Amino acid sequence: MNASTVRRIVTADGSATLFSERYAQAFASQRGALAESQEVFLGGSGIVGRLAEGRPVRVLEVGFGTGLNFFVTAGACLAHPEAKLAYTALEHHLLPAEAVSALGYGALLSADMVTHYLEWRADLREASGTHTFKRDRVRLELLLGDAPKQVLPANTFDTVYHDGFSPDVNPELWTEAFLGRLVSALAEGGTLVSYCVQGAVRRRLAALGLVVSKRPGPVGGKREVLFSRKPASRKAGP
Ligand SMILES: C[S@@+](CC[C@H](N)C(=O)[O-])C[C@H]1O[C@@H](n2cnc3c(N)ncnc32)[C@H](O)[C@@H]1O
């Protein structure tokens, strides 16, 4: 994705995001990009609570985009002195660093994290492979390339933030096969959250063994958002 295929927009809560001409969709809710990130992903996944308890957290994000969900989650981690965050993100087209810089997330969130991330990004030229950024107690692994082709570790992540574009324009991120790989990558008790509540997606996740529900979305945002959890496997009795 190059700078000419995205344009900056300001969403209803005053935070900015990008609009993709290629997918004809915004990268985040136009009713509030920051609110969506804080409430659907960080809050909805339960990760905010784990970080507040000072527990190490492992997040897998589908669709890194502008990095807003990462910055929000990293900020929540650094607010708690004992917390540690390992954040793995899948992305096939890294946005130009200047397009991300123009969103002003440094002023809105952790300026230190955003500044160092953008410096790191300015030197990153590859379009594939795994690339690691570290700052303080936060580690980001960017897995560049087609998400369904990535190899993911099993039973690892405390949550999956599924933030692909919608299934009608970005179908490869919502197939039963790819969702199955995400479910395998979740640790027992882990959550998979998304803004997308399409019935077909919910049925696929339920068929893959997740306990799936719809929850109220952010005030002024989507009416309902997706929450699902991987149940703990039953241990055999004595
Ligand atoms: C809705 S945007 C993500 C928004 C992002 N989480 C943010 O906070 O800005 C969806 C992202 O998924 C990426 N994407 C779409 N199809 C993909 C694929 N097959 N493999 C990897 N990334 C993909 C797009 O490039 C885009 O960055």
SS3 track for 39-74: HHHHHCCCHHHHHHCCCEEEEEEECCCCCHHHHHHH
Q: Is 157 helix (H, G, I), strand (E, B) or coil?
A: strand
Percent of the chain with pLDDT over 70: 96
DSSP secondary structure string for all residues of 76-88:
HHHTSTT-EEEEE
What atom in ligand 1 is closest to the CA of residue 161? 6
What atom in ligand 1 is closest to the CA of residue 66? 9
pLDDT single digits (tens) 88-143: 999 999 999 999 999 999 988 889 999 999 999 988 988 899 999 999 999 999 99
Query: Cβ(45) to ligand 1 under 6 A?
Result: no
Query: Cβ(46) to ligand 1 under 6 A?
Result: no
Query: Cβ(9) to ligand 1 under 6 A?
Result: no
Report pLDDT for 235: 65
Report pLDDT for 109: 84
User: Ligand 1 centroid to 143 CA: how many Å?
Assistant: 12
Using CA atoms, how far apart are residues 103 and 42, in angstroms rounded to an integer?
A: 20
Helix axes 176-185, 199-207, angle to 10 degrees: 50
Query: Cβ(34) to ligand 1 under 6 A?
Result: no
pLDDT single digits (tens) 137-161: 999 999 999 999 999 999 999 999 9
Helix axes 111-122, 68-78, angle to 10 degrees: 130
The CA-atom distances, in angstroms, between 25 and each of 30, 99, 151, 155, 165 are 9, 16, 27, 32, 7
Query: Cβ(145) to ligand 1 under 6 A?
Result: no
Query: Cβ(147) to ligand 1 under 6 A?
Result: yes
Q: Which of 220, 3, 219 is nearest to 103 (CA)?
A: 3
CATH of 32-229 given 3.40.225.10, 3.40.50.150, 3.30.1370.160, 3.65.10.10? 3.40.50.150
Query: Cβ(59) to ligand 1 under 6 A?
Result: no
What atom in ligand 1 is closest to the CA of residue 173? 19
Per-residue pLDDT band at 83 (split at 50, 70, 90): very high
Instruction: List Cβ neighbours of 10 (8 Å cut-off, separation of 6 or more).
Output: 16
Q: How many residues appear in the chain? A: 238
pLDDT single digits (tens) 52-70: 999 999 999 999 999 999 9
User: Ligand 1 centroid to 164 CA: how many Å?
Assistant: 5
DSSP H helical ranges for 160-221: 176-185, 199-207
pLDDT single digits (tens) 159-197: 999 999 999 999 999 999 999 999 999 999 999 999 999
E strand map for the chain = 6-10, 16-20, 25-26, 56-62, 84-91, 129-135, 138-144, 157-162, 186-194, 211-216, 224-229
- The HSE-up count of residue 126 (CA atoms within 13 Å, CB side) is 11
Per-residue pLDDT band at 221 (split at 50, 70, 90): confident
User: Ligand 1 centroid to 66 CA: how many Å?
Assistant: 9
Fill in the amino acid letter for 138: V
Query: Cβ(47) to ligand 1 under 6 A?
Result: no
